[in-house]
Amino acid sequence: MSRDNEYQIIRRPLLTEKNMHRADTRNTYTFEVSPDANKVEVRQAIERLFKVKVKAVKTVRYKGKPKRRGYDFYTQGAMKKAIVTLQEGHKIDLI
């Protein structure tokens, strides 16, 4: 897996108040990932990008929601997120 491929799998970290609390208390980080990526690919990409050991990966898919602006209707994009738990002693510095 090349470095470019890892950046295609891991799109961005999701930095919300809830996710930052999880990172501090449970050593769990949340990332937006490619909809085509599976748990094994996410695990390998996180371990190579951040040089950490991953304990578990959970994935969640979100469907696109219909939205309306004035008379125009559009669909908000679908996404997939991965909730990654790291082994004891490992940490990712996101900020």
The CATH code of the domain that includes 21 is 3.30.70.330
Q: From CA 75, how far away is CA 52, in angstroms rounded?
A: 36
| Residue 36 in this model has a pLDDT that exceeds 90 | yes
Q: What is the band of 77 on the pLDDT scale with cuts at 50, 70, 90? A: confident
pLDDT at 59: 98
Give the global pTM.
0.85
Q: What is the band of 12 on the pLDDT scale with cuts at 50, 70, 90? A: very high
Single-letter code of the amino acid located at 58: K
**Cα dihedral value 13, 18, 22, 24, nearest 10:** 90
- Residue 91 within any structural domain of the chain: no
Range of the domain at 73: 3-86
The count of structural domains within the chain is 1
Q: How many CB atoms lie within 10 A of CB 45?
A: 25
Mean of the per-residue pLDDT values of the chain: 93
